[in-house]
Amino acid sequence: MRYIHKQLCLVVVIAGFIFPVTGFAQASSVIVGFHHQPGEAEQELIQRAGGTVKRIYHLIPAVVAVVPDQAIAGLLDDPAVAYVEEDKTVVSIEPEYTHLARDFFAADDAEYGNTWGVLRIGSQEAHERGITGREVKLAIVDTGIDYYHEDLDENYRGGYDFVYDDNDPFDDSWNSHGTHIAGIIGAEANGTGVVGVAPEVSLYALKALDGSGFGSLDSIIASIQWAVDNDMDVLNISIAGIESQVLEAACNAAYEAGLLIVAAAGNTFGGEAAFPGAYTSVVAVASTDEADQIGIFSPLAPQVELAAPGLGIWSSALQGGYIEASGTSQSAAHVSGAAALVISSGAADVDSDGISRNHEVRQKLQTTAVDLGNAGRDEQYGYGLVDVAAATVTAPASTHIRLERKSRWYGNLETVALEGGQYQITIDNDSLNAVIILVLENHRMRKDLAETVLFANPWGDAPQQASIELDASAGALEVIMIPLGRVGAFADVVVSVQE
């Protein structure tokens, strides 16, 4: 943190912070983190330092306060204080280019034609199966939403304005940033304009950025806290944030509370991923074009988790209009909508308890993504291009396979994918001599999980049974079963999810 003044008589350096001490009572907005949830004693500590508490967080143990610069060193010395961080300015990730509105045909098919990204990730197929994001609560941290827009008015459910501290998070931005993101996620299928990835999702606006696209670290963290307090399922963030201890703590706490956070990976042109997308508790999304090529402005970073359409994306704009824009913000919106569809479908509810948990949804999006670029996860596409059509298919509780030794070797292999839970593979042998089990994780062989099951006297009267347990809760597994024995010998295999 650096405070700059025209007149300095002394500079104090503590724990990497630079604090000027002058004869002037200049104050700054800071976030003070504590080792435990702040109460009256912590507020009094701020007041004794000459500061004023502006907001008390309960998602994380911290407060926002205006504190005299010369008092910050004393706060850092207090054993109750974990850190003091400047309440820095953040900015929206601006589109790389925008085009003004054009006329659209008022026809159902044209809605999909106007939104190539929605088509490309398989959303229409999910919609045709009745999966539309209904009753899923999705909040957008941005410049607000034009909730009068005919493509958004039925899905808008409310929110909060942390810029002006009121209940009216209307989009007053110069480039319709928040409204454009909202349309990609949840524009209604009403026969006009565009259609969103999740056309019946419940949209909430958390206005953390002003009309010029600027906001504060405090407004972002307060928005994240609001999302947790109001039981949001998904949170979409598109900011070019800074690496921040308090922002990371807020994202981690929200993820632990069950919130799925999706963020733009940043328009860094092959550079590092932007924050908060770079945090492990957040899904960072890169951009692709209509040919599935990575956008030139996307980052090249190990934190990239998924890719989605982000070039030439038409969506809603202020005053009932439509604009075309490109950027990783537009890509993140596609993934946020995809997450809403996965939750709506119940496809990520592996244990069938009626709850699609954030880590289950995240894993479902990872394991069903179309692998692009280098095999497996890479720094351009992450796990690959999000595939809503595949991610919203509910896997059966158990899979039955007839494993038969055939005359041609390549016809013998049987493959099954396991994800998001504990599995049991039960082999009821009829006449095989053995079954070889190979297991791959992210296209790489797991030698420690490979196994050869031998059957004694396979032609005996009583069927022989073997059972294998595999844990796919931490990552998807691909199981390959190879039968050994005479041609025509077989075994019945049941792959089941364990409660």
Active site residues: 142, 177, 329
Angle at CA of residue 220, ends 219 and 223, nearest 5°: 85
**Cβ neighbours for 333, distance < 8 A, ≥ 6 positions apart:** 181, 184, 185, 197, 236, 238, 315
Q: What span, in angstroms and rounded, lies between the C-alpha atoms of 371 and 459?
A: 43
Q: What span, in angstroms and rounded, lies between the C-alpha atoms of 366 and 385?
A: 9
Task: To the nearest 10°, report the CA torsion of 110, 387, 390, 470.
Answer: -170
